[in-house]
Amino acid sequence: NAGVTQTPKFQVLKTGQSMTLQCAQDMNHNSMYWYRQDPGMGLRLIYYSASEGTTDKGEVPNGYNVSRLNKREFSLRLESAAPSQTSVYFCASSELPNEQYFGPGTRLTVT
C-alpha cells in the first residue's frame, strides 16, 4: 500500500515551458488536492477534486490546470511556467471528514 505517490520528485523548467505533475493514490479516497508550499506562506490550495468527475479552484489557481483522470489519479499542469511557480508541490487525498494524507512532494524550480 503506497498511499499517495507523486512524480517527478524534482524538476527544473525554463520560463515558458510546460509540464504535468502526476499524483496517484491507492487508498480509494474520493477527494484529492494540489497544494503549493512556499517559505513563510504555508500550504496553499491550488485545485481540488471533491469526487471523481469534479474539480474546483482553490486559493491560488492562476497559471495551473488539473485533470481528475479517474478515482486514483489527479494531475496538475503548468502550461507556461513562470519563476513565481518555483515551489514545492504536494498532492493529498482524503475520504472524510477531511483527514488528508500527503504525497512526498515535487520540488519545482523555474529559471
Number of residues that bind another protein (CB under 8 A): 24
Interface positions, 88-107, toward another protein (CB under 8 A): 90, 94, 96-105
For residue 58, the tally of other CB atoms under 10 A from its CB is: 16
Q: What would you report as the CA-atom Rg of the chain, rounded to the nearest whole angstrom? A: 13
Pick out residues in 1-40 that bind another protein (CB under 8 A): 31, 33, 40
φ and ψ at 11, to 5 degrees?
Answer: -155, 140
Nearer to another protein, 53 or 97 (CB): 97
Per CB under 8 A, contacts with another protein among 56-85 are 56, 58
DSSP string, 6-24: EE-SEEEE-TT--EEEEEE
Q: Cell numbers for 61, please give them.
A: 489557481
Interacting residue ranges for another protein, rule: CB under 8 A: 31, 33, 40-45, 48, 50, 56, 58, 90, 94, 96-105
